[in-house]
Chains A and B, each alone.
Chain A
Amino acid sequence: MQQQETDLALITAVLNGNTAVYSELVKRHQRFVFTLALRFTKNREDAEEVAQDCFVKAYRALGTFRQTSKFSTWLYSITYTSAMSALRKKRLTTISLDDDEYTVQPVSPSSYSDTDTIEKKSAYVYLNQAIDSLLPDDAAIITLFYKGEQSLEEIGKVLFMEPNTVKVKLHRARVRLKEKLQYLLKDEVKELI
């Protein structure tokens, strides 16, 4: 709630002419916006471009932000539309017959040592890989639900869907995620989960 109030205070300051304060808003939300963009673009360079574009668009439209929802929800909806446009453009320019955009490249578990920390790290690597291998919409829902601190209603606003549709999609995404993890880890899946 404090974060929400501070976001609004920063927005008011920007609208009152103190535009340098926008840097603080960028710093606060850049990680998540970048992560969300990465779920669509699948590579860091494109994700950074989308995230930059999103912050510039948000700046331009800051005066129209009605403050009836969280700033993060509004910002994530801009990220979603920017990422979708970028994805559409990319698909139009680089359609390949053997497109392996969504195929998973498993990381060899033997490349990690047996220490606890490394095991935990590899678990996160596998999870991230499994999320990346999901369809963009599914990956975005998982990311928004678990990392974006967004409710089903708020995710609905971001993705322009009904909360019930989001609920169904979240369930399906988790089922797919579990299947991907089982595929990635095979026997090791029991150790992870």
Chain B
Amino acid sequence: MKTIEEQIWNYIDGNLTIEEKKAIEEKIAANKTYSNLYKELSAVNLHLTKLETDMPSMAFNRKVMDLVDLEIAPVSLKTKVDQRIIYGVASFFILTLSAILIYAVSQTHFSASAIKVPDLNIDFSRYLTPMFIKIFLFTDLILGFIYLDGFLRRKKDIK
């Protein structure tokens, strides 16, 4: 149950439905308590709407700009990608995957006896060459540096 004051503030703010508004208007017209309170709150509301903001010192803007000049210029972190490129890439993958799936289904013979266990006897020593290991470790090192850089930046931002 809302108090009279709350009802009148809602009426002043325009937060009531048409029926509620009509009901309050009738009460304000007929009931002296409502009428007096409405006058009082309307006056307070009027003064509040006319209040002015305070002005900082004359040098405020210059001080802010002096501080801003010491900062790194901001850049937009939001990358704007053309929607058509996204749809193009998506349709390429959907078409490729669909074609592979259709081909695979068309080549499959659905009989239990036809199932063969694939040969997984792969000779890894052919692929794990010293060059491959060096490239792998170098990539790991680069990724480690990128992560460290991101971590230190985040830490600096928090400070």
Measured CB to CB, the residues of A under 8 A from B are 14-15, 17, 19-20, 22-23, 26-27, 30-32, 34-35, 38, 44, 47-48, 51-52, 55-56, 59-64, 66, 123-124, 127-128, 131, 142, 146-147, 167, 171, 174-175, 177-178, 181, 192-193
A14 interface neighbour in B50, B51, B54, B74, Cβ under 8 Å: B74
Q: Which residues of A contact B40 (CB under 8 A)?
A: 178, 193
A61 touches B56 (CB 8 A): no
A63 touches B75 (CB 8 A): yes
A26-B64, A60-B71 known; A181 vs B78 contact (CB < 8 Å): no
Tally of A-B Cβ pairs under 8 angstroms:
108
A193 interface neighbour in B44, B67, B75, Cβ under 8 Å: B44
Answer whether residue B68 sits at the interface, using C-beta atoms and an 8 A cutoff.
yes
A100 to chain B, nearest CB (A): 22
A17-B73, A55-B68, A56-B71 known; A124 vs B61 contact (CB < 8 Å): no
A136 to chain B, nearest CB (A): 15
Q: Which residues of A contact B131 (CB under 8 A)?
A: none
Q: Which residues of A contact B71 (CB under 8 A)?
A: 56, 59-60
A171 to B73, CA, bound (A): 42
B48 touches A127 (CB 8 A): yes
Instruction: List 10 A-B pairs, minimum CB-CB distance, nearest first.
Output: A193-B43, A62-B74, A31-B53, A34-B56, A35-B53, A63-B74, A63-B77, A146-B48, A15-B76, A35-B54
Q: Which residues of B contact A64 (CB under 8 A)?
A: 77
Instruction: Determine the residue in chain A with the shortest Cβ distance to B6.
Output: A171
Q: Which residues of B contact A63 (CB under 8 A)?
A: 74-78
Interface size on B, residues (CB 8 A): 34
A34 interface neighbour in B43, B55, B73, B75, Cβ under 8 Å: B55
30 A/B residue pairs, CB under 8 Å, sorted by A: A14-B74, A19-B73, A23-B61, A26-B64, A26-B65, A31-B56, A34-B53, A34-B54, A34-B56, A34-B60, A38-B54, A47-B54, A51-B60, A60-B74, A61-B74, A63-B77, A64-B77, A66-B78, A124-B47, A124-B52, A131-B51, A147-B52, A171-B6, A171-B9, A174-B44, A175-B5, A178-B40, A192-B47, A193-B43, A193-B44
B68 touches A22 (CB 8 A): yes
A144 to B20, CA, bound (A): 26
A14 to B15, CA, bound (A): 39
Q: A14-B73, A15-B74, A171-B9 given; name 14 further pairs at CB < 8 Å.
A: A22-B68, A26-B60, A35-B54, A44-B54, A44-B57, A52-B60, A52-B64, A56-B67, A56-B68, A63-B75, A124-B50, A124-B51, A127-B48, A174-B44
Q: Which residues of A contact B49 (CB under 8 A)?
A: 146
Q: Which residues of B contact A56 (CB under 8 A)?
A: 64, 67-68, 71
Instruction: Determine the residue in chain B with the shortest Cβ distance to A190.
Output: B40
A72 to B52, CA, bound (A): 17
Q: Which residues of B contact A142 (CB under 8 A)?
A: 48
A14 to chain B, nearest CB (A): 7
